Chains A and B, each alone.
Chain A
Amino acid sequence: EPEVTQTPSHQVTQMGQEVILRCVPISNHLYFYWYRQILGQKVEFLVSFYNNEISEKSEIFDDQFSVERPDGSNFTLKIRSTKLEDSAMYFCASRDRGTSGANVLTFGAGSRLTVL
Chain B
Amino acid sequence: AQSVAQPEDQVNVAEGNPLTVKCTYSVSGNPYLFWYVQYPNRGLQFLLKYITGDNLVKGSYGFEAEFNKSQTSFHLKKPSALVSDSALYFCAVRDVSLRSGNTGKLIFGQGTTLQVKP
Contact = CB atoms under 8 A, between A and B. Distances in A.
What band does the interface of chain A fall in when counting residues whose beta carbon is under 8 Å from B?
Answer: 20 to 34
B102 A100 contact: yes
Interface of B is mostly: strand
Contacts of A101: 32, 51, 94, 96, 102, 104
Interface residues of B, number: 28
Interface of A is mostly: strand
Contacts of B94: 101
A44 B36 CA distance: 14
A75 interface: no
Interface stretch (A62-70, A77-85, A105-113): A105-113
Nearest to B90: A43
A52 to B, nearest CB: 14
Interface of A: 4, 6, 31, 33, 35, 41-45, 48, 50, 55-56, 91, 93, 95, 100-110
A115 to B, nearest CB: 19
Nearest to A105: B106
B104 A48 contact: yes
